[in-house]
Structures are given as structure tokens and as C-alpha cells.
């Protein structure tokens, strides 16, 4: 099969969940025998020199990049708010340069499947339909409107809350429009699949979670201190919200010495106001780390305090693959068929969250059990080649 993947962000380096999901599935499809090409934005915010992409990746996937600036511009945002019904977050990815490159690729090759990585590539469907007979698939990493709706609900500022609620409505309308235009949907979790079927019951689909290559996550010697860490993109609103909740609701219940680091957190693009809010002797910020796996290897316990989101938290999959003990919320674990108390610990209030962290810190037998079960769980349920082969067979049936 000849597959073209369209992505709103170059998925290299794979430092965040979206990049990992896009890259792993594309490489898995190639390893399963598909010919895979990718056309991606190379944005100013996440720019990476395409010539520096490792050979093992470029051998499997032909990657074409369109360098562009999709950053927020105040005048454009205000014009969109008052003179459009479309979400501004989507309009930022409607670029002539991307259309021109896509047209070139569609005229150059015949594709069986064109896979859109997320809803903000909806603008290019008319061009695809005019130049290609390929079936169009939407790879849904999240239910985007739910994230923004939840964020609006948790926002305390009235103007920001109203804006986010309006944005959520616009994104929901966009997602409904998208589901009417594509041929099939490939959501990342069963729960998301059910929601999408509620929006369009007749659309063919298959749940395809993010796959993990276990050889990329070798078992390492346990660190002696059962310390706690958080790792995630700090320009993503749910991560910011979760860290602030940790400081305000979890940290006060921790009984360890208040001068001792309780949480080591890292991530790129941290807003200055977030870092100011997170200042505390027990909260240590490590900036953007070059090697995520090396950072995670230093600690045994992974805290994922998420209050909003959908899809799958891929950093949790990575942490479990590395044998980390994960403490998260119900929303954090959503979409992953874990068993609370066996391979993960789940808490939805600050006191319980803190209690689980301290239990793992002091109870070596419990931490060893959760760690071993977590790694085995990923190995048994998230093999990347197996998942990608299943998608290949689904695509064959649909095309």
C-alpha cells in the first residue's frame, strides 16, 4: 500500500506524545510493508532541520517539510473571533505553501490512503478529492473540543472561560465537519472511538493506540532513591494545569521534609508565569531535557496529575515501558486498559495522590511490583509492529 501522512508538526525529535504517536505509527506501517511518505509543517515553534533526521527514519519514511510560521498573531486572532465561525487554532494551519507542496505530491504519485494527523488538516480535503482517488483517514490523537471544553470549565477568569468555551464549540463544529468528509477514522482509544461514533455512527473506524518499540526502552538498573518526576510539554495547557494542581492540592499533603525535593519536573516551552507559580523548595525544574529516557531513568516514580484531556497519555506508556511506577488521575489513565493497584495507581484528589506517592517511596516491595507489572503490561498490549500491521489490514479492507 502507498500511504501519505499529513502532519501539522514534524514528528522529530519525538519529545512529546503527538510526535511519538505520529512517528511510531508511520515507521510501523513502513515496517509492515507499506510505502510511507509524509508531508509535514516544519513550524517556527517546533523547527528541526530536516537534513538532521536520522538515516534509520528517513530510510523508512520519505519526509517532505514545509517551513512556515503558525504562531499566534493578535490581529489575526481578533479578526477570526469577530468575523469567522472557524477556530483560530485551525486557521493557522491553512497555508498556501502547504497546499502547493501537497498538490505536487498528489500529481507525482497515486496513493491508496491519505492519513490526516489531527483535525486541523481539514482544509486540504477538497484539494485531495480533486487530485486523488485515495481514501482519506483521520488519525485522531484526541477529541480536541473536549480538551478545550474541560479547560474552559476549570478556568477561573470569566473572559478567558468565555473565550475557551467559544473555541470548544468551534472545534466541535470543525470535528463534525471533518467526520462528514473523511472515509474512515482511526482514533487512539476505545473511549474516543465511542464518542466519534456518537457524532457519526456510519463512519468506518478502528481503534489504533500508540505503539511502543520495547527495544527502545531497555530495562535499566533501579535507582536507589524512589524520587518522583513529571515530564511533558509545558506549553500544553493540561500539563500546566496539572502541575499547578500538584503544587496546590498534592504538595501540602506530602509529609516529607519540606526542604527536600518532592517533584522533579521538566519540559519545553515553559511559560515564565508557570515557572514563577511553581517556585517552591520541593519542586525542582530541570528545563527542557535533551534525552527524555535518560531523564526518566534517574527516578522511579512518575506523577501525571492531569485534570483535562482525551486520547492516550503517551508519556505514561513510555514511563510504564521503562518500568516506572505511575501515579495519575482517572483522566490521565483514560484510554489505557490499566488495572489500578496492579500496574498503576490512580487518585483524583490531592490527599490520595500524595498518599500513593509516599507509599511508593517507602514501600520497596510495592514499587517493585507496580514497576514489573507496568513493563509487562506495555510489552503485552502495545507492540508497535503488531498494532501497525492491524491498521494496514484495516486499510486494505477499506480501499
pLDDT along the chain (399 residues), means of 10: 97 88 96 98 91 95 95 89 92 96 97 97 97 97 88 85 93 96 95 94 96 88 76 90 96 72 90 95 93 90 90 91 96 93 97 95 92 96 96 96
Q: What is the pLDDT of residue 256?
A: 62
Which pLDDT value is given to residue 178?
96
Scanning 48-157, the segments in alpha helix (DSSP H) are 55-58, 74-83, 88-91, 96-108, 125-131, 144-154
Q: Which residue has the cell 515553534?
A: 45
Question: Which pLDDT score, from 0 to 100, does residue 218 have?
Answer: 87
- The fourth-level CATH superfamily of domain 2-211+384-398 is Glycogen Phosphorylase B; (3.40.50.2000)
Q: With contact defined as beta carbons under 8 Å apart, do 134 and 37 qualify?
A: no
Residue with cell 503558525: 70
Taking the C-alpha atoms of residue 305 and residue 241, their distance in angstroms, rounded to an integer, is 9
Angle at which helices 190-199 and 158-181 cross, to 10°: 80
Report the distance separating Cα 349 and Cα 329, nearest Å: 8
pLDDT at 260: 59
Bin 224: left if φ > 0, else alpha if -120 < ψ < 50, else beta: alpha
Class of domain 214-381: alpha beta
**CA angle, residues 25, 61, 69, in degrees to nearest 5:** 85
DSSP state for residue 182 in the 8-state scheme? -
Residue 316 is predicted with a pLDDT of 95
Phi/psi for 17 (5° steps) reads: -60, -40
Domain with CATH 3.40.50.2000 in the chain: 2-211+384-398, 214-381
How high is the pLDDT of residue 222?
A: 67
What pLDDT was estimated at residue 225? 62
Amino acid at each position: 500500500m502507498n500511504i501519505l501522512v499529513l502532519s501539522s508538526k514534524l514528528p522529530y525529535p519525538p519529545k512529546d506524545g503527538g510526535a511519538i504517536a505520529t512517528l511510531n505509527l508511520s515507521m510501523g506501517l513502513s515496517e509492515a510493508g507499506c510505502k510511507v511518505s509524509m508531508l509535514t509543517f516544519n513550524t517556527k515553534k517546533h523547527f528541526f532541520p530536516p537534513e538532521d533526521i536520522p538515516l534509520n527514519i528517513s530510510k523508512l519514511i520519505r519526509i517532505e517539510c514545509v517551513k512556515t510560521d503558525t504562531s499566534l498573531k493578535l490581529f489575526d486572532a481578533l479578526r477570526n473571533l469577530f468575523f469567522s465561525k472557524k477556530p483560530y487554532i485551525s486557521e493557522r494551519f491553512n497555508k498556501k505553501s502547504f497546499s502547493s507542496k501537497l498538490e505536487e505530491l498528489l500529481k507525482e504519485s497515486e496513493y491508496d490512503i491519505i492519513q490526516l494527523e489531527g483535525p486541523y488538516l481539514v482544509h486540504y480535503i477538497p484539494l485531495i478529492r480533486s487530485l486523488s482517488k485515495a481514501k482519506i483517514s483521520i488519525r485522531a490523537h484526541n477529541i480536541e473540543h473536549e480538551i478545550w471544553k474541560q479547560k474552559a470549565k476549570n478556568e477561573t477568569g470569566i473572559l478567558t472561560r468565555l473565550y475557551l468555551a467559544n473555541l470548544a464549540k468551534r472545534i466541535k463544529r470543525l470535528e463534525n465537519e471533518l467526520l462528514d468528509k473523511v472515509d474512515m477514522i482511526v482514533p487512539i482509544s476505545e473511549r474516543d472511538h465511542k464518542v466519534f461514533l456518537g457524532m457519526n455512527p456510519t463512519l468506518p473506524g478502528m481503534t489504533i493506540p500508540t505503539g511502543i518499540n520495547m527495544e527502545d526502552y531497555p530495562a535499566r538498573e533501579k535507582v536507589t532513591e524512589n524520587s518522583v518526576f513529571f515530564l511533558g510539554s509545558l506549553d500544553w495547557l493540561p500539563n500546566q494545569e496539572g502541575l499547578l494542581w500538584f503544587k496546590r492540592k498534592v504538595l501540602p499533603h506530602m509529609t516529607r521534609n519540606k526542604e527536600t525535593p518532592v517533584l522533579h519536573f521538566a519540559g519545553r516551552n515553559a511559560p515564565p508565569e508557570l515557572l514563577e507559580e511553581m517556585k517552591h523548595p520541593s519542586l525542582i525544574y530541570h528545563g527542557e531535557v535533551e534525552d527524555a529516557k535518560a531523564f526518566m531513568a534517574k527516578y522511579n516514580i512518575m506523577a501525571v496529575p492531569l485534570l483535562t484531556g482525551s486520547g492516550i497519555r503517551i508519556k505514561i506508556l513510555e514511563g510504564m515501558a521503562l518500568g516506572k511506577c505511575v501515579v495519575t488521575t482517572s483522566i490521565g489513565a483514560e484510554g489505557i486498559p490499566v488495572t489500578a493497584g496492579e500496574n498503576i495507581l490512580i487518585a483524583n484528589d490531592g490527599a490520595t495522590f500524595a498518599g500513593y506517592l509516599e507509599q511508593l517511596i517507602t514501600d520497596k516491595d510495592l514499587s517493585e511490583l507496580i514497576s514489573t507489572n507496568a513493563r509487562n503490561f506495555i510489552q503485552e498490549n502495545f507492540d508497535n509492529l503488531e498494532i501497525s500491521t492491524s491498521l494496514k489490514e484495516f486499510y486494505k479492507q477499506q480501499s
